[in-house]
Amino acid sequence: MKPFRFSLERVLAWRQNQLGLEEARLEQLRGQLAATEQTRRWVLERRVTEQTAVAQSTNVAGEQLMSLERLRVWTLREEGRLTARMAEMARAIQVQEGAVNEARRRVRLVERLKERKHENWRVETDRELDTMAGEFAVAQWRRAQD
């Protein structure tokens, strides 16, 4: 009896490696999206903090109002830029999720093939054992007859 050997083991390992890479890319994109969202929240908080500080101030100079207006314009522009970037990242994440699912499908396909090959090997091995056991029984019976 020969031991089970799956001829596509290297293919399976390569597919599993590809799946790991695709999953890592997906996690990287998710991390970038989270960081961008955090930056967007920080921009909004900064604007609110500055507006609150000016609103609570008893004596507001024109320069402070101009500075606040520049900050407001900058934060609106930055928020728009970050929101657009987040939308791009969300689309990229969706595409990458598709790539991960496809990689999983390919791994599972080779794994199922391996399982089928192993089952066929097991059936063949059992058949060989049965044949050997039958031959052994016949040989013992013949010895007993002699």
Q: What is the pLDDT of residue 101?
A: 98
**Full-model pTM:** 0.76
pLDDT score of 47:
92
Query: What are 53's two structure tokens?
Result: 């500080």
Closest CA to 43 of 86, 13, 14, 6: 86
Q: Can you read off the two tokens belonging to residue 78?
A: 């930055």
pLDDT value of residue 1:
74
Mean pLDDT by 10 residues, the chain (146 residues): 90 98 98 98 94 83 88 95 98 98 98 96 93 90 85
Sign of the C-alpha dihedral, residues 19, 24, 27, 33? negative
